[in-house]
Every structure is written in structure tokens, then in C-alpha cells.
Amino acid sequence: MVMIHIFLTVMVVGGVSLFPETAEATVMGPSMQKLTWHYYKVYNTCENAENFVRHQVEIFYKNDKSIAPKLLRLLYSDCFVSGCDASVLLEGPNSERMAPQNRGLGGFVLIDKIKIVLEQRCPGVVSCADILNLATRDAVHLAGAPSYPVFTGRRDGLTSDKHTVDLPSPSISWNQAMSYFKSRGLSVLDMATLLGSHSMGRTHCSYVVDRLYNYNKTGKPSPTMNKYFLSEMAKQCPPRTRKGQTDPLVYLNPDSGSNHSFTNSFYSRILSNKSVLEVDQQLLYNDDTKQISKEFSESFEDFRKSFALSMSKMGAINVLTKTEGEIRKDCRRRN
């Protein structure tokens, strides 16, 4: 079994997580060591950059709480492809955001607004990659997640190619999911934790119908899915039988619903066979992830602490720093 508490080296004090100086080397991998905590303040280039980002997120969040799961998905779609380089923000007919896996991505408007504000205050200094990481942290904190430290100093990528997008189907097996996370330098605990992002937000029925009607191409629903929940989901997601059929959105965690709140009920649903996505339900079919799910369902604080660490690790995947890439003036296009 995974000894979860050994890995939870993040301290959470008063809702704000802090890396103690003695623990910093423990949690920082090679990529994270290229970044700096409060980079813009340390190097005196834009002392209040993080405050500017937080203020804009707070304004936006008051009118649209769905911005938290939208930014989480946007950050995941960025970091897991070519690294956390804001390449997913670039526009173009063949850019990453045009890949089928990125259909329905949101949050771009807020990132653009934050960039405009920062260019007015500190022109040519704060990268879009850092903005995306900081804004995601601040949005999910408003939704109930810990305000984990975001190490900064990223620079923006120069290319964005939809053919490089290898984000997997949400119907993959546990082994496939684990291989994918490992390929990004993440552990079994990171996978179980980051999938907890599905505690809020919505997904299209087209990602769920295989579980409801044709599990593993059997022509039958998933045999392990809670029967009452299966019936409720079938009402929301009818079989896809004709071209051009509408593709409704359903909540990834009905317990959170339109509040889009960050909650550990996601793990309780896994243990009750009430997950919406197959990849989430797969956490029940491995001893380690089953144990992690059980612990997180019983302790919201353990989930929050682990989430802080795993998000920091994800935000450091293949980052560009120093003279690599550029600092975009507009997040949608290269300088």
C-alpha cells in the first residue's frame, strides 16, 4: 500500500499551503528547480504580479464559478502535451486548441484579461505560462482547494501543433492511465490526486455513453456501475444513434453540480461505483489507488495537502526558463 502521509510534505496553514525551506528540495524535481517562488518579486521585475492576477480572478469568479474547472482543464491540456509553456493558448488552424481532445476548452477570456492588465503594469515581463498557473491556483482556491505555492519564471513556447496532442480518452484502463502519468514524471499518488480535479466541472455525454450502453464493446452498460446512478445518467445521456445528434453536458460530480466546489465527495462516489468517467472509476480497481481514494474520502485535508503538492509538480513539467521561448505580449499569438 502507498504510505500516503509520507508524501504529504506540504504544510497547510490557515488554508494557505507553504513549502518549509527544509522541505523545498524534497518536493522539487529537476524542472521545478528551474523555477523560483515569487520570481517577479525576487527579481524586482513586477513585484505585485501575483496580486494583479488574483484580483482579476476574484472579479471573474464572482460572476462565473465554472472558471475554476475550466482553468484546471486548460492547465492540464497545456502541461501534459509539450509542457507548461502556454502553447495551448496560441491560436491557429493547426494549433493545440484545435485538436479533438481539446474541444470545449474554456478560460481563454480571463487569461487574455489578466495579460492586458499585466502588460499595462509591467510590459513584457510576466509570461502567459505563469499567468495560467497562477490564475488556476487562485480560481481553485476560491472553489475550496488550498492556495498552494506556484513557483514562477516560466517562459512561453513558440510552437503549437494539434498533432502533438496525445491527451488520452477518459475511458482508458488503470494501467494505461498510470503509464501516461508516469511518462510525465508523476506518481500513482499524483494520478489519484489530480483526477480529483473532476470533483467539479462538466463533460460531454459522448465521453460517458460507452459506460452506459457499450462497455468494452459488449453492447451492455458497465457491470460495476451503481444501477440507480446508471439510470440517472441514461436519462441525461441518450444513446448516440444518429449523425449531428446533440451532445449534452453533464456534471463530473453531481454532488458539486453548478456550485463547482472543490470537494472530496468525488472519492466517496468512486467507492460507491458512482463515477461519471471510466478513468475515475478505475481508481477503485488497484490496491494503491483504492486505498488513496478511501483516505481522501475520509479526510478532506489529506486530499487538499496532496492536491497542493501534485499541482505544483504538474506545473513544473518541461518548463521553459531563462532565454528559452519568449514572453508573449498577447497570449494568443507569438511576438
Q: How many CA atoms lie within 13 A of 85 on its CB side?
A: 23
φ/ψ of 158, rounded to 5, equals -100, -15
Catalytic residue among 73, 137, 155, 269: 73
Residue 55's contacts (CB-CB under 8 Å, 6 or more residues apart) are none
Number of Cβ within a 10 Å radius of residue 158: 15
119: cell is 502588460
- Amino acid letter at 319? V
Could you confirm whether 211 is annotated as catalytic?
no
As annotated, the active-site residues are 73
